[in-house]
């Protein structure tokens, strides 16, 4: 199951990349991070560096528990993560951002989510794609609003 959503932000690609690189900034735009202000969070390593792990644990069913690890950074271009879900269901996947300059103060951001979908859950992939796609797009809109203030 692969989902890609994009948005154009009226800020420089350097500013956008530097903001996205810091995983803790997802608290300001990710629908899931914002859903439960009381969730427990953990951090391992240096944020913005390969190997940094952000963990979450929420009692809210739609947030659950898991962790996200920075697995790759191409300076100014992309940030890749491994994402591991522990609850409400176990699964692993990949997510990340692709950043592209469209000019001095215009940047394209693509948020990608890619996860295996095994039977019988694969039967629900079209519904999950719509739901997750909406959440990714809302997160990108939040990102745009945050950075363009």
pLDDT tens digits, residue range 93-108? 999 999 999 998 999 9
**Closest Cα partner for 68 from 88, 43, 90, 38?**
43
Strand ranges of the sheet holding 2-9, from the earlier edge strand across to the other edge: 2-9, 106-114, 91-103, 78-87, 65-74, 53-57, 40-44
DSSP structural state of residue 134? H
3-class secondary structure for 73-109? EECCCEEEEEEEEEECCCEEEEEEEEEEEEECCEEEE
Give the pLDDT band of residue 128 (cuts 50, 70, 90): low
pLDDT in tens, 37-79: 899 999 999 999 999 999 999 999 889 999 999 999 999 999 9
C-alpha closest to that of 88 among 123, 56, 136, 42: 56
User: Above 90 in pLDDT, residue 127?
Assistant: no
* pLDDT at 3 > cutoff 50: yes
Confidence grade of residue 89 (pLDDT, cut at 50, 70, 90): confident
Q: What is the pLDDT of residues 5-31, one digit of tens each?
A: 999 999 999 999 999 999 999 999 999
> Full-prediction pTM beyond 0.85?
yes
HSE (side-chain half, CA atoms, 13 Å) at 126: 1
pLDDT of residue 123: 47
Q: Which fold has domain 2-147?
A: Alpha-D-Glucose-1,6-Bisphosphate; Chain A, domain 4 (3.30.530)
């Amino acid at each position: 199951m692969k989902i890609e959503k994009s948005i154009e932000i009226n800020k420089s690609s350097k500013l956008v990349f530097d903001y996205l690189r810091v995983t803790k900034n997802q608290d300001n735009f990710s629908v899931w991070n914002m859903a439960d202000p009381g969730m427990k969070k953990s951090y391992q390593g240096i944020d913005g560096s390969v190997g940094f792990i952000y963990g979450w644990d929420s009692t809210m069913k739609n947030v659950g528990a898991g962790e996200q690890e920075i697995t790759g950074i191409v300076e100014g271009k992309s940030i890749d993560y491994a994402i591991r879900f522990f609850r409400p269901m176990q699964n692993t996947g990949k997510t990340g951002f692709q950043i592209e300059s469209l000019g001095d103060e215009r940047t394209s951001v693509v948020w990608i989510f890619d996860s295996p979908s095994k039977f019988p859950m694969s039967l629900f992939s079209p519904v999950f794609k719509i739901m997750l796609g909406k959440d990714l797009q809302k997160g990108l809109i939040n990102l745009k609003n945050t950075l363009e203030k």
